[in-house]
């Protein structure tokens, strides 16, 4: 009887060890899968980032035609601290999601809001910018807009897939879409009456308006809504890459680099949460 008990115990231990071995193999395989994008980037020594080059303050060209901006310089610093070079692919915001899925780019960095809906399809870094939404309107009459409800039947310039266009549509505006157009195209249309409003990020709007003093436009004086967090977007499988980027962003926050870059490009510390009273929008699936 004792021999049988010893043999059964031995068999149970063997089975348990075998099961543990299988679990370890599955875990290792999973870790290899999650690290695949990071290893691929390391092998090349280059991380490819999609950006538009059309967002004043975030991703734009300087007077010498060099790509720069808050998002661009953050990405350069992240790459440098990871021991990588960075190459930027210029494309419209509407193309960035498909470019990540097709492996044309590794990440997208273009003042992209990390919403719950987007997180279903993509991974995001920790936030490097905090902001809220506002509107660019005509100075003389605020384009007839004194509340979000006044967006109904107005013409709003914007990208087809942006959160700002979704907000405008939510309140009944007709969205006039553009390709990868510069700020001047959007703001000029508000100025000349082709559109009534541009719903957009506070910092981008502030610097966009300041860049074209000849236009009869300004930031809406009272409307502040939809607080936002901007982050670097990548594929869900890029878990190791996401971790590495988050580690570097934490270093940059700790040593003040994020604040320095934000003040350089926005004249305010956009890396910290705003103290403004910002209206939340209910019933919008973002």
The tens-digit pLDDT sequence of the chain (286 residues) is 444 444 444 444 444 444 445 444 444 443 454 899 999 999 999 999 999 999 989 999 999 999 999 999 999 999 999 999 999 999 988 899 999 999 999 999 999 999 999 999 999 999 999 999 999 999 999 999 999 999 999 999 988 878 999 999 999 999 999 877 888 999 999 999 999 999 999 999 998 999 999 999 999 999 999 999 999 999 999 999 999 999 999 999 999 999 999 999 999 999 999 888 999 998 877 7
Q: What is the pLDDT of residue 285?
A: 79
Q: Are residues 176 and 208 part of one domain?
A: yes
Flag whether 144 is in a domain.
yes
Mean pLDDT (the chain) is: 89
Q: Are residues 193 and 177 part of one domain?
A: yes
CB 179 within 8 A of CB 221: no
User: What is the arrangement of strands in the sheet containing 107-108, beginning at the earlier edge strand?
Assistant: 85-90, 46-51, 107-108, 233-235, 122-124
Q: What is the pLDDT of residue 94?
A: 83
Flag whether 148 is in a domain.
yes
Flag whether 147 is in a domain.
yes
CB 161 within 8 A of CB 238: no
Flag whether 14 is in a domain.
no
Q: What is the pLDDT of residue 219?
A: 98
Q: Are residues 111 and 100 part of one domain?
A: yes
Q: Are residues 118 and 239 part of one domain?
A: yes
Q: Are residues 185 and 103 part of one domain?
A: no
H-state helical runs in 107-224:
116-119, 163-170, 183-192, 202-210
Q: What is the pLDDT of residue 9?
A: 47
Q: Are residues 139 and 216 part of one domain?
A: yes
Q: Are residues 101 and 77 part of one domain?
A: yes
Q: What is the pLDDT of residue 248?
A: 98
Q: Give the integer Cα–Cα distance in Å for 175 and 172.
A: 9
Nearest to 212, CA basis, from 36, 50, 45, 56: 56
Q: Are residues 179 and 60 part of one domain?
A: no
Say which CATH number the domain at 114 has.
3.40.190.10
Q: Are residues 168 and 123 part of one domain?
A: no
175-190 per-position pLDDT tens digit = 999 877 888 999 999 9
Flag whether 284 is in a domain.
no
Q: Are residues 198 and 137 part of one domain?
A: yes
Flag whether 95 is in a domain.
yes
Residue 133: φ, ψ to 5° = -100, 150
Q: Are residues 161 and 107 part of one domain?
A: no
Q: Are residues 160 and 248 part of one domain?
A: no
Of 179, 201, 227, at which residue does a domain stop? 227
Domain range spanning residue 211? Answer: 131-227
Q: Give the integer Cα–Cα distance in Å for 159 and 263.
A: 27
Q: How many domains does the chain have?
A: 2
For residue 267, is it left (φ>0), alpha (ψ between -120 and 50) or beta?
A: left
Flag whether 7 is in a domain.
no
Q: What is the pLDDT of residue 12?
A: 47
Flag whether 27 is in a domain.
no
pTM: 0.82
């Amino acid at each position: 009887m004792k021999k049988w008990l010893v043999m059964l115990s031995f068999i149970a231990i063997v089975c348990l060890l075998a099961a543990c071995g299988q679990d370890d193999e599955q875990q290792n395989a999973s870790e290899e899968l999650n690290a695949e994008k990071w290893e691929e980037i390391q092998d090349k020594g280059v991380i490819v980032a999609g950006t538009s080059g059309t967002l004043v303050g975030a991703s734009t060209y300087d007077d010498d035609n060099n790509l720069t901006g808050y998002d661009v310089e953050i990405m350069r610093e992240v790459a440098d601290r990871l021991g990588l070079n960075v190459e930027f692919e210029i494309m419209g915001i509407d193309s960035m999601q498909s470019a990540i899925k097709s492996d044309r780019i590794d990440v997208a960095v273009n003042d992209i809001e990390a919403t719950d809906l987007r997180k279903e399809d993509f991974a995001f870094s920790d936030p490097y910018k905090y902001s809220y939404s506002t509107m660019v309107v005509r100075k003389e009459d605020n384009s007839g807009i004194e509340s979000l409800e006044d967006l109904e039947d107005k013409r709003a310039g914007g990208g087809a897939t942006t959160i700002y266009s979704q907000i405008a549509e939510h309140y009944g505006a007709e969205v006039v879409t553009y390709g990868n157009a510069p700020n001047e195209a959007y703001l000029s249309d508000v100025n000349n009456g082709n559109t009534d409003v541009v719903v957009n990020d506070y910092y981008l709007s502030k610097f966009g308006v300041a860049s074209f003093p000849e236009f009869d436009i300004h930031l809406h004086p009272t409307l502040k809504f939809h607080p936002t967090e901007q982050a670097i977007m990548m594929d869900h499988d890029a878990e190791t890459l996401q971790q590495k980027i988050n580690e570097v962003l934490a270093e940059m926050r700790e040593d003040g680099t994020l604040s320095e870059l934000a003040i350089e490009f926005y004249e305010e510390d956009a890396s910290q949460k705003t103290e403004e009273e910002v209206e939340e929008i209910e019933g919008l699936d973002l």
